[in-house]
Structure 1
Amino acid sequence: MSETQPSIGELLTATVPMVRTLNLEYVETTPERAVLRLPDQPEYHNHVGGPHAGAMFTLAESASGAVVLAAFVDQLSRAVPLPVRAETTYKKLAKGPLTATARLGRPVAEILAELDAGARPEFPITVDITREDGDVTGDMTIVWTLRPNS
């Protein structure tokens, strides 16, 4: 971004305390996709020596929020993005650093058309959580909405 405008990662790191707490790293952020990394940190391990499920959930949810903000940053004066619901599946033992890759599940133009029509659009973000070896350890689908400002 420019010198006067922070990147999505800088903005979220500055405004969301859990991002700072877990030391999440923003690798890539676009309106269609975000990639975040959770470093391996023993203070956030579970009973089997991998990242705690809560840390994994926060990683995935944060990646979904980065996509939403990147896609709709120009709409913040008229709508607030909010998570509605999430479903998480833990598939394999997670060890070491993890990467979350989030993808917007509907076209931005379609979502904005609903907002323009006076609706409160809902849209899914899918997230894969992977280990360094590329194996998927979990996934999340989180549904977001754009709540029009009153």
Structure 2
Amino acid sequence: MPTFETPNLKWSFSVEGLFTLPLIFSRPAIGEDGTIYVGGAVMSTENKDLGKLYAINSNGTLRWSLETDSAIITTPIIASDGNIYLSSHEKLYSISPNRQLLWSFTTNECFSSPAIGEDGTLYAGSFDGKPYAINANGNLRWSYGIGEEIPFKAVRSLL
């Protein structure tokens, strides 16, 4: 019969902010090198709701962080080249593993978590009632108005 040990906390990571901010909204994503990426919201000195992506080393220390124009509300995804894709209230972002903002794509409404197609195309739904296909350079390939919000993560077919 298998035995189970009581789990021990190896480390924790604290985010600093005013009152209860920043808030972590996303689930973590883990890169091939073990870096943990997680996003949330911070309050600026002008009381503006900004986003923040944290890159955390596997030992729990901060590797880097990057502020975005609005709260990061979805789980980041990591492409085969290591680039990180995430969405906020109005934008889809592409960020290099070394913290460089590669591009952002703007709509008027919230994006769902994107999915990556075999050719590198990003697919994401939006609360503006459109699915979006965006190429790896951040250019719109297509979108189509369906008239209803798309609050769910895009899923790539496994067939």
Between Structure 1 and Structure 2, whose CA radius of gyration is higher?
2
What TM-score results when the alignment is normalised by the length of structure 1? 0.34
What TM-score results when the alignment is normalised by the length of structure 2? 0.33
**Higher relative contact order structure (alpha carbons within 8 Å, sequence separation ≥ 6):** 1
Higher helix share: 1
